[in-house]
Structure 1
Amino acid sequence: MAAIPALNPLKIRTNYTNGETIEGFKKGDIDHEQPLSPMSRLFHEPGSNVYIVGIIGLKTKIQPDIFKHNLVHTFLKNHRFSSLQVTNKQNGSMKWIPTHVNIDDHVFVAQIDPNMESSDKFVEDFISNLSRSPIESTKPLWDLHILDLKTSEAEGTCVFRFHHSLGDGVSLMNLLLSCTRKASDPKALPTLPGSIKKSGAADVSSFWSRFGVLWNSFVALVMFVSTILFLEDTKTPMKGSKGVEHRPRRFVIKNVSLDDIKLVKTAMNVTINDVVVGVTQAGFYRYLHRRYCEGDTENTNIPDNIRLRSTLFFNLRATTKIEDVTDTSRHGTWGNKIGYALHPFKIGPRKDPLDYVRDAKAVMDRKKASLEPLFTYFFANLVLKLFGMKVAGKLNHKVFYNTTLWFSNVPGPQEEISFFGHEVAYIAPSCYGQPNALMIHVVSYVDKLTFVISADEETIPNPHELCHDLEESLRIIKASVCSSGIMSKY
């Protein structure tokens, strides 16, 4: 394959004042600059300076030149990936300024230690080290790290890193998946289950359903305001301390059987999301029980009535269909269009393990029958307009810090896919920079479901044990389904 020609990189100051000439651009070029949206600007505020990490395991050896060639024709056609974010010193505003991109400044091939003890540990340490430093603002805020190293799950690993101001997880996941094709049909885009959804919609066909939506929304509003003002989660071994957003993270991946999740879903007549949340709730209790008992399995000091909540994110777009997203103006695909709800986890023992799933379904049904995600989205925008970026950033940080974790669950491709001609073994998105010690992101791919844990090791020094607790909780819940006899009804 012919070598990729190097593009001239642009050296540009990251601050400018009105009337200044930007190095490397003609005067007319500056007319094409665009301001960052308020939500994108918010992700540069202290406590909200978040990065999205996309880990992709591949089944074949990685060819870096093929990745570079294809990135030029995909990512770089999107102006967010070929523009700098430049700050105006006078008023603090930020604008997208187009720049000349040298692809070699964004794609890095990791140096492999030939004497490593474990390839899995090497990859894990490498990704953790990425969370120790930001991407320099002298170039577009994304990069790709290629680890051409065989692990227990893949023949090679790609790690994409994006600043959250480029877009939310749905935007960036769609961008990545638009670069993939079905392994069975190299010309076809992959498909996602439930490609059309009604964001924030609830069944309001009767008076009582309308009343239920209004009541659930009112309760959510009270809890949201209380969380801003004073309501903080219980100090548990999973709750981060102040400054946790500045500490490095450990990223751990655990794959489980999607068929096991579907078996429980069908038997209990619930959703996949209900099962995932129920398994997570059971896993949290197992983990906290072990941390509190400190080796004494007979006596535990785990507190009663633990308040442990997650910030549960919702996509507010009307569709999740994968399409060409190089054009950032199409269909509202781009931006940070996500709302969130505060989801409580009930931490405690259950005589029947299936009660974890039943409890999760009851809470999720209330969240679906409310306008909480829409409210939080519009509230953030309202505060931005009325009080400015600093106030919005502080309130955002207060809500996140007063809860215990971030939680996100999204469906992935239903069939095997290839990324720039490389067959994909797994997909594992996550984040770092948030003011919580823990994030759990759950994504499905073909016949597996992947739990991706992003943990502050100072708070959670053993994230692998938490992974084991999630896996064991699924095993126990599945076994309870199989032994209960409810499967015979279906």
Structure 2
Amino acid sequence: MKTHEPLSGVDAAWLRMDDPTNLMTITAVLVLEDPISVETFKALLEERLLGFTRFRQRVRDPEGSPHWELDPHFDLDQHVHRAALPGDAAQAELKDRVSELMSEPLDRTKPLWHMELIEDYFGGSAIIARLHHCIGDGMALVQVLLSLTDEYFDPARFPSTEERDSLLPSVVRGTLKAVQGTVAAGRRLLTEGARSLITPSHALRRAKQGLSVGAALSKFLSLGADTDTSLKGDLGVAQRATWSGPLALARVKRIGNVIDAKVNDVLLGAVAGALRYYFESRNEPTDGVVVRSFIPVNLRPPEQAFELGNRFGLVYLDLPVGLDDRLKRVLSVKRKMDEIKRSSEAIAALGVIEGLGYVPLGLEEWAVRRFSRKASAVMTNVPGPQEPLHLKERRVQHVMPWVPRAGHVGLGVSIFSYDGTVRLGIACDAGLVPDPDVIVDGFTREFDRLAATLLSDAEAVDASGTVGDGDGRSE
């Protein structure tokens, strides 16, 4: 087994993008309906997480030639902590705690991950997981979190703790076998929404043929900034995190079917409407406003679905906030997304990010600043399995991951679907966006009005929007 494994250029780039005002950490909350003790949770991680050697490795020489090495002093107790929420220990307190942790950097002298267990949350438990972007992209790390569940875990995947400590090379072999064995399960669990925005094999084939890559790169370099709104400005360290109650995925699909749009088109069109609602609540102008967003695009082939590392590109999407008709906003997003799917923009962006991992740090910082100033937000849709999952027989009531933001981008919008529901999450700079719950309210409002316009009364009742109280409890 190699004692030193270099980071890929893409992984190194995300490591070096860390900034106190925009940490490159993917944060997620998992809410369990029944309580789990910290001892049981640590035993679960020993069994189901630490077989992935990356979670026992630290990064050495991060600003020179970064490489992975096993942490000789690895201690699980340094990565898992128990916490209690103040006051009523309700959703507001959990949101505050997530916001605080989003502002805290991970300890770079240790493996770059941390989990906090809230043992008493609405009669169950809540887990706040933080994983550094250099370990993997959102799709890969969500798969890691899902592999902790009873439905995804294969007892034969990893050797026992004793074997792992003495036979680390076999862990690598076991992990590779696990990747092959669980891809089929992943295909079964992930629905239409989990498919890549751009089919990876098609995108990669176009790139090999050189189709439009040069034009896509030229577009990146020549693109001007989007509309100057309150989403732009100097960033601070403090962050805000929030999320919506659950919306019925069936309702989103029915809206899409009526207008021949994909689920993703409807969701992003609703985000455009939510931002318009937000600007109006602040008495900001909305006519003609365009909010440009980075959209991560999965470029990992299906057979590599469970591998760590970063295999995604970025595309720009102009959200038509300035349109005053919600149906026109959705159709505009659909048209723009169709154009993106026919282009090689994501491949070009992946090449740019790969190159940033090898240039001097000062040049990378300049490039990140330049590209990030062209957009106001990062938005991602990472769909999950559409059947209930469990951790040691405790039902996972909901999952909410948040996308990190690089450079000077102050707003992150994350959409996650699970077990027939969809939730919207907002992670943002507390100074630029002090009231993100207004965006969440606007998002829910868009669905209510789209359903009222496009669905029959029977369909609207059958696929009602909110399917829970939003506070970590089922109906």
Normalization by structure 2: what TM-score?
0.80
Which digits, 9 at most, give the CA deviation of each residue in 1:308-363, with x for residues without a partner? 100000110111886xx5xxxxxxx2211110100001122434x32121111101
Distance, in Å, in 2 between the alignment partners of 1:204 and 1:334 is 22
Partners of 2:432 and 2:103 in 1: CA distance: 16
When residues 199 and 81 of structure 1 are mapped into structure 2, their CA distance, relative to the original with a 3 A threshold, is same
- CA 1:321/1:45 → structure 2, altered by over 3 Å: closer, same or farther? closer
- Contact 1:192–1:414 (8 Å) recurs in 2: yes
Could you tell me how far apart the structure 2 residues matched to 1:43 and 1:463 are?
26
Distance in 2 of aligned mates of 1:132 and 1:350 = 36
Letter paired with 1:268: I
Q: CA deviation at 1:118?
A: 5.5
Distance 1:204 1:394, change over 3 A: closer
The answer to whether 1:75 aligns with 2:76 is no
Change (3 A) 1:160 1:38: same
The 3-state SS of whatever aligns with 2:117 is strand
8 Å CA contact 1:383, 1:392 repeated in 2: yes
What's the secondary structure of 1:32's corresponding residue? coil
Question: What pairs up with 1:219-234 in 2 under 5 angstroms?
Answer: 220-227=216-223, 231-234=224-227
User: What's the secondary structure of 1:480's corresponding residue?
Assistant: helix
Contact between 2:23 and 2:103, CA under 8 Å: does it hold in 1?
A: no
The answer (yes or no) to whether the contact 1:250–1:456 under 8 Å persists in 2 is no
- Could you tell me which amino acid in structure 2 is paired with residue 242 of structure 1? D
1:380 CA drift (Å):
2.4
Q: Residue 243 in 1 paired to residue 235 in 2?
A: yes
CA distance in 2, matches of 1:203, 1:101: 38
2:168 alignment counterpart: none
Return the alpha-carbon distance in structure 2 between the equivalents of residues 477 and 320 of structure 1.
37
User: % of aligned pairs identical?
Assistant: 23
Structure 2 CA distance for aligned equivalents of residues 257 and 283 of structure 1: 18
Q: How many residues align?
A: 420
Residue number in structure 2 paired with 1:274: 265
Unaligned runs of 5+ in 2: 157-181, 461-475
How many Å separate the matches in 1 of 2:457 and 2:304?
Answer: 38
1:192 corresponds, among 190, 193, 218, to 190
Shift of the 320–238 alpha-carbon distance from structure 1 to 2, 3 Å rule, reads farther
* Letter of the 1:80 counterpart: R
Aligned equivalent of 2:308: 334
User: Are residue 258 (structure 1) and residue 282 (structure 2) matched?
Assistant: no
CA drift at 1:110: 0.3
3-state SS, counterpart of residue 77 of structure 1: coil
- What do you get for the CA RMSD once the two structures are aligned? 3.1
Distance 1:176 1:448 in 2: 18
| 1:454 match | 427
Distance 1:292 1:222, change over 3 A: farther
Q: Say yes or no: does 1:168 pair with 2:168.
A: no
Residue 141 of structure 1 pairs with residue 112 of structure 2: yes
Output one character per residue of 1:70-100: Cα deviation in whole Å (capped at 9) or x when no partner.
2112222222110121117xx8222212124
Per-residue deviation, residues 431-489 of structure 1 (Å, max 9, x unmatched): 446332111111111121010111212111111111000000111111110269999xx
State the 1:111 CA deviation: 2.8
1:56-67 pair list within 5 angstroms: 56-67=30-41
Residue 9 of structure 2 contacts residue 355 of structure 2 at CA under 8 Å; is this kept in 1?
no
Residues 107/339 of structure 1: CA separation in 2 closer, same or farther (3 Å cut):
same
Given the superposition, is the C-alpha separation of residues 263 and 362 from structure 1 closer, same or farther in structure 2, using an over 3 Å criterion? same
Q: Which amino acid aligns with 2:439?
A: L
Native 8 Å contact 1:142 1:161 kept in 2: yes
Q: Give yes or no for contact 1:45–1:390 (8 Å, CA) kept in 2.
A: no
- Residue 117 of structure 1: how far off its partner (Å): 4.3
The answer as to 2:292 corresponding to 1:309 is: yes
Partner of 2:179: none
Q: 1:186 to 1:469 in 2, by over 3 A?
A: farther
Equivalents in 2 of 1:267, 1:186: separation in Å?
44
Question: Which whole-Å deviations, capped at 9, do the CAs of 1:393-412 have from their partners, x for residues lacking one?
Answer: 43133212331000001221
Change (3 A) 1:145 1:317: same
In our comparison, the structure showing a higher alpha carbon Rg is 1
Check the 8 A contact 1:437/1:456 in 2, yes or no.
Answer: yes
> What SS class does the counterpart of residue 380 from structure 1 fall into?
helix
* 1:4-43 matched pairs, under 5 angstroms: 32-43=3-14
1:84 maps to a residue whose letter is R
In the alignment, the residues of structure 2 paired with residue 186 and residue 357 of structure 1 have an alpha-carbon distance, to the nearest angstrom, of: 45
1:177 to 139, 142, 146: 146
Q: Quick one: distance in 2 between partners of 1:259 and 1:320? A: 28
How far apart are the structure 1 equivalents of 2:93 and 2:422?
23
The 3 A distance-change label for structure 1 pair 178 and 225 is: same
Shift of 1:419: 2.3
CA contact (8 A) 1:200 1:373 kept: no
**Distance change >3 Å, CA 204–CA 336, structure 1 → 2:** closer
**TM-score where L is the length of structure 1:** 0.78
User: Which amino acid counterpart does residue 191 of structure 2 have in structure 1?
Assistant: P
Partner in structure 2 of residue 201 of structure 1: 202
8 A contact 1:61–1:148 mirrored in 2: yes
Query: How many angstroms apart in 2 are the aligned matches of 1:411 and 1:49?
Result: 23
Alpha-carbon distance between aligned partners in 2 of 1:218 and 1:284, rounded to the nearest angstrom: 33
**Structure 1 runs not aligned, ≥5 long:** 1-28, 206-210, 294-301, 326-332
Structure 2 counterpart SS, 1:236: coil
1:52 Cα offset (Å): 0.5
